[in-house]
Amino acid sequence: MNKESWLHPRHDKIESINPATLEVIGSVAVTPAGEVEEKVLLAREAFGSWRNTSLKYRAGILKKFSEHLFTKRQIFAELITREMGRPIVEALVLECEASIDLVNYYARRYRLLKPQKVRLHNPLFIRRKSYHQCLPLGVIGVICPWNWPLLIPLGCIVPALLAGNAVVFKPSEFTPLVGEEIASLLSEAGLPHGVFQIVQGYKETGKALVKTDVDKIFFTGSTQVGSQIMQAAAKNPTAVVLEMGGSDPAIVCNDANVEITASGLLWGGFSNCGQNCNSVERVFFEKDIAGPVMEALVRKTEFLKIGNGFNRNTDIGPLATKHQYEHIKTFIQQMIKKGAEIMTGGKEVENQDGYFFQPTVLKIPKDVTVNEEIFGPVIAVTIVDDIDEAVELANDTPYGLAASVWTADRAKGERIARRLQSGTTMINDAIVSFGMPEAGWTGIKKSGIGWVHGHKGLEEMVNIQYVNVDPQSHQQKFWWFPYDEETMLTMHAAMKFLYSTKLSERLIALPKVLSRLAGYILGNSKRADKY
């Protein structure tokens, strides 16, 4: 099969293609749209008993899952490399290690879901018990992309299960085999039958899942598809968490370390062949450092090794799909027409069967705006006069997912970070915050709604219910009906005691408040007798 061949999807089967060789490596059956609802109903039935299991029990299953994932880490890494092309080292470290760490993070912190006491400051309620408790939502729908086929799904699936929800998972049609392995491993870990369901298919399957009565949808993918999901979910309505596209900027200050910054930008822009929603895509150099860093970046780019991900020396694998391959070629052509200059790369790799493309550095004029997600091995660099201009151009995008600042002055870096419109900003690094399980992940503008990872991501999986318990169940509250003059005088006195800025007023009001409060606490209120 050559690059010009295009797989026409069958309606009953998905064939998984190795993007480095264009060979079929396996297949799965498509879940018919009519059966998607049946899967949701099965998950709903299983939820009934799963929600009543203890947090400790659920955490124990996740620990077993983590142990199995550790044992099979090489198998998963190789499957990821075969299905979507990323180098085996990246698949092992950025996918498998980060996934094991994420599972362990939640399994060891299941107490985050225990009831949390709420202290009531008002003396009227001093004897009450008050707390927040986390209740599972029900059935969670998870729709994930192909670029991180293990870590992204687990970032939703694991906290959902820990919280007591059932899950229906649709993996990407480009990485269906990784999805099947996730399901198999959860079963091996002892997850009860039915709690986790997997549906395979194309966009029709995803649409069918959104139309069901799932309690929440977690979607990761393009802004265009995310917007469509949000519109469809609103008809039910169904709550959504959307992690969508990015066009992430990097600002390089004049005091940045030249070689370290160039290496960081290189990795931030080209790891996973640039197919990360938080890849470094747009770089803004302060003019005094632009020449040295540009030279270093080009030099390091030309040193990168392109090839099959199973070669341990490969730095850049293929693009995962033909669509991305064609998109990158078109994007570069459009930028050249607008005045961009290719500093290195810019072409497909010849004499290769797969979707290989040279890592590319483009020099972009300041008046050219990159308003689309590149999502490939391209870094667009622009020289600016100062940091103010860099921040203005960095924020000139409909996206707001991630950003990075490169400087030797930490305080300056933090000041710049506060000015950037992004859900995440890293200083002197890029991308890896997504692999920090405690770091909540979100986007602003057209990059996302809601959170994944960390405590914030866990809260997305539950209904946080407030509970207030009055132990004095035997008596009438003095603020209940009927209202009368005594009530009015008492409340005036209470407000003077609580809020007056004059000490004399507070002292005068105190006896009246204590008398009424004592009667209330001791159960001597006679107001109910007026009825």
- At 368, is the pLDDT very low, low, confident or very high (cuts 50, 70, 90)? very high
% the chain with pLDDT above 70 = 95
Structure tokens that stand for 490 in this block: 């008492």
Look up 243 and say whether it is catalytic.
Answer: yes
Residue at 252 is within a domain: yes
User: Does the pLDDT at position 6 exceed 50?
Assistant: no
pLDDT per position as a tens digit, 75-85: 999 999 999 99
How large is the average pLDDT for residues 513-518?
A: 77
Q: How many Cβ atoms sit within 10 Å of the Cβ of residue 369?
A: 14
Amino acid at 17: I
Structure tokens that stand for 413 in this block: 């870096």
Specify the pLDDT at position 8. Answer: 45
- At 74, is the pLDDT very low, low, confident or very high (cuts 50, 70, 90)? very high
Q: Which of 1-15, 119-133, 149-163 has the lowest mean pLDDT?
A: 1-15
What DSSP line would sit under 462-478, residue for residue? EEEEEEEE-S-TTS--T
User: Does the pLDDT at position 530 exceed 60?
Assistant: no
Q: Are residues 390 and 502 in the same domain?
A: no
* Boundaries of domain holding 135: 13-244+456-465
**DSSP label at residue 306:** B
More confident residue, 9 or 371: 371
User: Does the pLDDT at position 523 exceed 60?
Assistant: no
User: Does the pLDDT at position 389 exceed 50?
Assistant: yes
Provide the CATH number for the domain around residue 290: 3.40.309.10
Q: Are residues 137 and 175 in the same domain?
A: yes
Residue at 1 is within a domain: no
Among residues 446, 465, 484, the one where a domain terminates is 465
Q: Are residues 215 and 306 in the same domain?
A: no
Residue at 239 is within a domain: yes
% the chain with pLDDT above 90 = 88
Q: Are residues 157 and 261 in the same domain?
A: no
Specify the pLDDT at position 108. Answer: 97
**Active-site residue among 96, 134, 144, 277?**
277
Structure tokens that stand for 326 in this block: 């064609």
pLDDT per position as a tens digit, 23-70: 999 999 999 999 999 999 999 999 999 999 999 999 999 999 999 999
Among residues 465, 485, 508, the one where a domain terminates is 465
- Look at residues 157, 378, 414, 367 and name the one whose alpha carbon lies nearest to residue 282: 378
Q: Are residues 261 and 201 in the same domain?
A: no
> What Å distances lie between residue 115 and 235, 299, 464, CA to CA?
33, 55, 9
Residue at 8 is within a domain: no
Domain total in the chain? 3
Q: Are residues 156 and 172 in the same domain?
A: yes
Q: Are residues 197 and 151 in the same domain?
A: yes
Among residues 414, 444, 465, the one where a domain terminates is 465
Residue at 306 is within a domain: yes
Task: Show Cβ contacts of residue 157 under 8 Å, excluding neighbours closer than 6 positions.
Answer: 142, 167, 169, 182, 186, 196
Specify the pLDDT at position 156. Answer: 98
Provide the CATH number for the domain around residue 227: 3.40.605.10
Residue at 480 is within a domain: yes
Specify the pLDDT at position 332. Answer: 98
Give the strand pairing for 280-286 and 139-143.
Answer: unpaired
| Distance of alpha carbon 115 from alpha carbon 131, whole angstroms | 6
* Rounded CA Rg of the chain: 28
- At 529, is the pLDDT very low, low, confident or very high (cuts 50, 70, 90)? low
pLDDT per position as a tens digit, 421-479: 999 999 999 999 999 999 999 999 999 999 999 999 999 999 999 999 999 888 788 78
Q: Are residues 273 and 392 in the same domain?
A: yes
Specify the pLDDT at position 526. Answer: 52
Specify the pLDDT at position 65. Answer: 98
- At 319, is the pLDDT very low, low, confident or very high (cuts 50, 70, 90)? very high
Task: Convert 76-96 to b/e letters by CB count within 10 Å (16 or more is b).
Answer: bbebbbbbbbbbbebbbebbb
| Distance of alpha carbon 268 from alpha carbon 256, whole angstroms | 16
Could you tell me if 169 and 199 are in contact, meaning their C-beta atoms sit under 8 angstroms apart? Answer: yes
Q: Are residues 330 and 280 in the same domain?
A: yes
Angle, to 10 degrees, between the axis of helix 98-108 and the axis of helix 55-71? 160
Residue 270 has φ and ψ, to the nearest 5°, of -115, -10
Instruction: Please name every residue paired with 380 in a beta bridge, in sequence order, or none if there are none.
Output: 282, 362
Scanning the structure block, which residue is given the tokens 């950025």? 94
User: Does the pLDDT at position 522 exceed 70?
Assistant: no
**Active-site residue among 90, 243, 373, 459?**
243
Look up 134 and say whether it is catalytic.
Answer: no
Residue at 3 is within a domain: no
| pTM, rounded to two decimals | 0.94
How large is the average pLDDT for residues 149-173?
A: 98
Q: Are residues 198 and 326 in the same domain?
A: no
Q: Are residues 363 and 478 in the same domain?
A: no
> What Å distances lie between residue 11 and 6, 173, 203, 222, 330, CA to CA?
16, 12, 11, 23, 29
More confident residue, 526 or 234: 234
Task: Show Cβ contacts of residue 520 under 8 Å, excluding neighbours closer than 6 positions.
Answer: 472, 475, 477, 478
Specify the pLDDT at position 514. Answer: 84
Q: Are residues 24 and 63 in the same domain?
A: yes
pLDDT per position as a tens digit, 163-220: 999 999 999 999 999 999 999 999 999 999 999 999 999 999 999 999 999 999 999 9
Residue at 397 is within a domain: yes
**Mean pLDDT over all residues of the chain?**
94
How large is the average pLDDT for residues 506-518?
A: 85
| Distance of alpha carbon 314 from alpha carbon 356, whole angstroms | 12
Whether omega for the bond prior to residue 249 falls within 30 degrees of 0, making it cis, is no
